[in-house]
Structures are given as structure tokens and as C-alpha cells.
Structure 1
């Protein structure tokens, strides 16, 4: 079973499996990928090839095709803390058990960690189907700055875009929060707001 760890994100995929990648414990991070089988309640270590650098405080999102995309967070290169790229995202192929890098084009969000992400489907009226698939992220922090911005990844074209909020909460910035999608709404909960004297 995996060692103790924190600041990681898990994602479910095929037939009750949950993937847990990397994380940090007492300053030590590894780039191991563990699979938890919720049906047999057992762990197994993946030996997927081309694993990315160790990372933590990132977000993992299961795409409609069952693969898992990893966004943001920190990494260590030669014991130096760095933010992971926002335009070259690690993708775990759950079918072939391999890693690859997805190039994301468009205007890039600033590097960040400690933020949530949700997968959203948009109804295409002309085709009468759910055809546009998007990942939405909000907030996070980077180099001492806490964000209150919204960014979107179109997972059909793999393109970043800035999300304009029509009625923003003035000066709201959040890190370490969580989010979930309910119908057409992304509910953001808890976290730390550095522009307010309390946690939300």
C-alpha cells in the first residue's frame, strides 16, 4: 500500500478504480501511481511508463474518455520547488497504463496550486447533444499571490480560455478550497481567503 502522503488528488475511472498519484510527506515526494480497487478494497502499484515529475497540490480530473488529466501544483527539480507547467499537462491513459503530455494552447493562466477543478458538459443546440466538454478551475495560489480568477480548458480542442464572471464577488480570492458541479452550477466551498479576516 502507498506510504503516508498529503496534498494529492484522486480520480476514479473504469469499474470502481481510483488513481492516486504522488503527494508529499515530511518533505518527501515521489512520482508513484497507486490504484485502489473499491470492489476488492485492495491497492496495486502502477508501473506506467513515462511518469511525470513528482507533484503535489495539483488537481486530477477524469475526462469523458476515462483518462485522467493532472493540472497545476508544485514539483521539485534538483531539490528546488517549482510550479508545474500549465500548458503541458500530464495525462494518465487508463487503458494503456501509460503517461503522455497534453499540450494546451491559448492564453495561459498563471502557475498555481491548491485549487479545485470540475468537469462540465455544454449542450450543443444545433446538434442536440452534450458535445463541448470543459474543465473549470477557480482560484489557487502562486508565489505568495492568491487568485480569484476562473479559467476553462476545452477538452475537445485542448485550449485554455479566461472565464469572465458576470457578477464577481469583489476582491474574493481563495486557496485550499473545494468545488463540485451541481447541474449548471459550480459550487465553491471553504478554503482560505487572504482578503478577508476569516476562512470561507
Structure 2
């Protein structure tokens, strides 16, 4: 069972239910493990900004819309792309992680991608597992949760490569899409 506590203090209860008057239950090897979020400022609470990925003329601002979240407005025009990215995360070869976030798409789609690139200057618009998804929310303007599990390649070498999370929105002709993201995390699956 995986869960993320919403507070520093929490209570874990395991209930046993039986048909008989005196049911018995035996529990063994119960443990609680904490996994560290590898994303810095995934809750958008800190003043430090994510790196921008943007077409010139794109507004990228942090707003408080009932909670701190990041919004990207993509200027109108086919092929215009904007978004945010974060790199230098400490991921290990062969380990499995979960990417999780809340998102809201104003129009068209948003696309989270996990990249392994040659250097910080090399921008590769391709997901290393070919699992990038064009995400939309069922109702524009409504928050939705997205998550994905991925395993780092066994030959990944952090001394030679950069692991990067990019979250992009792409404009189509005649549209000015926007997307919102909050509560972004990448955590090792224990």
C-alpha cells in the first residue's frame, strides 16, 4: 500500500473483521518507509522558479489560484511551445520512480516528458521511454491528477548524461492554450 501523508503526523490503523465473535488476525513485517521527493519546489511554494522552456513572447508566471500553482500561457500560433523544466535530479540506474502531479489544461494539451540528454544545453524533445502523453482534463478548467511509473535505464550514467523533467504545452493554430501544474513529485518506488 502506498500513500502520501497530508500532515507531519498521521495514524495508520489496520482493521480486522471476521464473521465469528472472536476473530483473530496476525500481522507481520509491517514497515513504513519514507521516500524523498527529487523535485525541488514541486508544490510551487518557494520563490525560486523552475527553468523556462518557452517560445519568445510567452508569459510564464506563478499565480495563487486557491493554491500556489504554476501557469503557462502559450501565445497563439501553430507549433508554439512553452513550459517548465527541472534537471540535475539524483536518479539511479535500474531504479524505479513515480512521477506525480496535479494539472489543469485550459485548451489543447500539456505534455510531461522525461528526457535523458547529453548536456544541460542539449534540449531533446523526446521521452526516453516513448511514454510522453498528450494530456487533457475532462473539463477544461478542472484539476486532474496524473501519475506515471518509470524505470531508469541500467546503462544511465549521471556523469555523462542529464535526466530532465519537462512539462510542455503546445499551441495549435488559432488557439491560446494554457496549463497549470502543482504538487509535482518524482519519488523512488520502495
Smaller-chain TM-score bracket: under 0.3
What TM-score does the superposition give when structure 1 sets the normalisation length?
0.26
Higher strand share: 1
With CA pairs under 8 Å and 6+ residues apart, which has the higher RCO, 1 or 2? 2
TM-score normalised by structure 2 residue count: 0.27
